[in-house]
Amino acid sequence: MAIQSQDHVSAADKEYKLPRDGRESIRLTAQHYMVVNRQGWILHPDVESAIKDIPNPKIIDLATGTGIWASDIAQRTSACFWVYDSLDEVPEEHREKYDLVHVRLLLSAGPSIDKLVFIECFKKFLKPGGWLQWEELAYPNILSVHVDANSPSGLRQDFSVAYPIVHLLEKHLKMSDRLGWIDQFEKIVCKAGGWETAQKIAVPVHPHLLKIETDLTAVVLMDLTEKMIMIKRLKDQHDLTEFSEAIRKLHEDQDNGVMFAYNWVCGIAKKS
């Protein structure tokens, strides 16, 4: 892995835990198709049935990345998307204009802003009765999956907080603060107030997607490390040696057939 540290990085980019380059765009695009396949839907069925009778529903994808989700949904319905920096006030022309706000993987790699602040922002975009669909990683974020002839599915799944690279990233990035909350999705939405219903859906791992999911997970784990080095958050020689040993182990395990998957959760909520 060729890594260069960078002297001039904006504050917003320091907050964002991943690089912004061609490889990352390819990863986000591949990840989109993998995730839609794993979920079995691009819109959760409850959301789909709620908006299907609305002529030309207005949909907005926030923290859109490459815009792949919006481009895909635009093939199926009339959608519009916008990249939004939620630290700004929601502009007047976007207030209460949307039937659906979609957000995916904002907090997993993004800023450490309180999710209640985001939930309030999303609510401002929605018409009364509009829906929020928010997909994130739960905590622990990565599952390690092993072939196991004794298990009925032929697979054994571990929550791999103790896995070396996951453990190191947790230590340096405090992932649990950022990811643990989605398990409390209903409670947090209820606390925020102004929502009629909220539901959290844990999306199971699919064996046929494990190869691509393993490859994508390995890339994201390396990219998180690379970004920390790039912004000089990781510079101590001892830490660098620990990370490089953990990445070597990741590759070795991959070569030996260990597979990885995201701990994937989707939250949906309807505004009152």
Ligand X SMILES: C[S@@+](CC[C@H](N)C(=O)[O-])C[C@H]1O[C@@H](n2cnc3c(N)ncnc32)[C@H](O)[C@@H]1O
Which spans of this chain sit near ligand X (rule: CB under 6 A)?
A: 16, 18, 28, 32, 63-65, 68-69, 84-87, 104-106, 109-111
Give the residue carrying structure tokens 């032929």.
154
Q: Provide the minimum distance between the beta carbon of 252 and ligand X in the complex, in angstroms, as a whole number.
A: 27
Residue nearer to ligand X on the CB measure, 70 or 246: 70
Residue nearer to ligand X on the CB measure, 24 or 239: 24
Q: Are 148 and 257 in contact (CB under 8 A)?
A: no
Q: Tell me which residue has its CB nearest to ligand X.
A: 65
Q: In angstroms, rounded to a whole number, what is the distance separating the alpha carbons of residues 140 and 176?
A: 7
Q: Provide the minimum distance between the beta carbon of 134 and ligand X in the complex, in angstroms, as a whole number.
A: 10
Residue nearer to ligand X on the CB measure, 75 or 237: 75
Q: Provide the minimum distance between the beta carbon of 143 and ligand X in the complex, in angstroms, as a whole number.
A: 18
- Nearest one of 122, 118, 125, 121 to 96, comparing CA atoms: 125
Residue nearer to ligand X on the CB measure, 258 or 261: 261
CA dihedral 192, 48, 108, 196 (to 10 degrees): 10
CA dihedral 47, 50, 52, 54 (to 10 degrees): -120
Q: Provide the minimum distance between the beta carbon of 219 and ligand X in the complex, in angstroms, as a whole number.
A: 12
